Amino acid sequence: MEIVRNIICQVYAGQKSKTIIDLVLNIFLPNYEKLNPGYTFPPNNENYIFKTEDEMINYFIKNKALDQTFLWNKYDSNPYKIMIGANITDDDKLIISLTMDTTEEIMQTYFNKLKEILESDIGVISYVNPAEYENGRDFILRYRVNNK
């Protein structure tokens, strides 16, 4: 079986939610490496440094009309080199991604599991570069049916 690098599975997760982000992280990347609190900053205060990963994510969840992507990785005990992405869109939606190096068959299993967990049939698989979309609404319109 041939390993394909940088397969990206993206699935619409509905309204932005820290609970959903935590659920996906704990299922697909247990014991993941927390983000550095300096990963990003509030758009209106570039000098502010969040104290924790939770504070940072909650800021973008609680504030409306912000666009921010978070990416988590894990270097040990991660055979498919899975990276989790959470894209909070400016229309307050959430797109979750799994980027991995694996076979097409295993990728399809992970993609289906992600759709099942998120209770969504809106998603897309791409290679190397993430799928393009403007916001959550645009993602829904483009990828309501899996377009490989």
Domain-located, residue 91:
yes
Domain-located, residue 10:
yes
Domain-located, residue 119:
yes
> Residues 27-81: pLDDT tens digits?
999 999 899 999 999 999 999 999 999 999 999 999 999 999 999 999 899 999 9
How high is the pLDDT of residue 1? 76
Full domain range(s) for residue 113: 4-143
What CATH number should be reported for the domain holding residue 101?
3.30.310
Tell whether pTM > 0.85: yes
Q: Measure Cα distances from 59 to 34, 68, 88, 119 in Å.
A: 16, 11, 11, 25
- Rounded to an integer, the average pLDDT of 139-148 is 78
Domain-located, residue 148:
no
How many domains does the chain divide into? 1
Domain-located, residue 108:
yes
Q: Which of 59, 49, 56, 48 is nearest to 72 (CA)?
A: 56
> Residues 82-123: pLDDT tens digits?
999 999 999 999 999 999 999 999 999 999 999 999 999 999
